[in-house]
Each structure stands twice: as structure tokens, then as C-alpha cells.
Amino acid sequence: MVQSLSKPLKDVLDNNAVRWSLAIFLTLRIGLSALAVIVISLRPLPEGGHERHVASLGLSPVSAPAERLLLEVWQRWDVLHYQRIAAHGYTDDESTAFYPSYPALVRLLGSATRTLDRYVRALALGLLTQS
């Protein structure tokens, strides 16, 4: 089974267009993450407001220093609502405006990778699936 999957995967990765696309994708992801770390280091977010907003949604803010530096900058806007849906499901408020596929994938990934923090799983999935 593994051998039957490795040949098509090798054929895809041998394609120059696919390799070029993957290189651009990874360069952009790493570059944006590095830029976010630089910006958040030079101009930190205001204290308190973000933590209160995250807590009001029933989520926990990123707390470890390294995770906070790398991940908290991405924990904004709709990300928080998708995190809440993945963690608690849909509620009676406006959360039905958010499509269910991403929270379902985060929850599915969570069942396969219990050792990772829920937010780290969500971020990893988002970075891999967003264009």
C-alpha cells in the first residue's frame, strides 16, 4: 500500500511546476511568519485587550513565550471564531456565519494528534490549507 502511494507522489513531486509551486508556497509561509515575528517584536500588541477577548469566547490565549511570539499574531479576527467552533461547536449566536469544514478538520486533526495544543493544530492546518 505504501509503495503504491509513493510512486504517484514521486511522479507529482518530479514535476517542475509542482516543485516550483511548493517552493513559492513554503517561502511565502515562512516569510510571512518571520515578518510577523519581527513586527510583533518591534511593536508588541497592547496588553490585556486580546486576552479578555479570547477569554470572552471561551478560549485560552497562547501562553508559552515561544508559542506566543510565533502564534499569537495569527490568533485574530475570524481565527478566534473558528477556534471556538472547533472546540465547542456552533452556539446560538452569529457563529453560523462560519462554514463548518475548517472546524471539522481541526477537530479531526485533534483526534489524531492529541499531544499538540489545539491552537497549534488549528494553525498548522490553516497554514497548510490556505492559499
Going from N- to C-terminal start, the domains of the chain cover 1-44, 46-131
| The pTM of the whole model exceeds 0.85 | no
Summarised one tens digit per residue, pLDDT across range 9-52 is 777 778 888 889 889 988 988 898 889 889 878 887 677 666 67
- 41 membership: H or E segment, kind and range: helix 16-42
- CB of 73 within 8 A of CB of 40? yes
**Pick the residue with more confidence: 99 or 4?**
99
State the burial class of residue 35 (Cβ atoms within 10 Å of its Cβ: 0-12, 13-18, 19+).
Answer: exposed
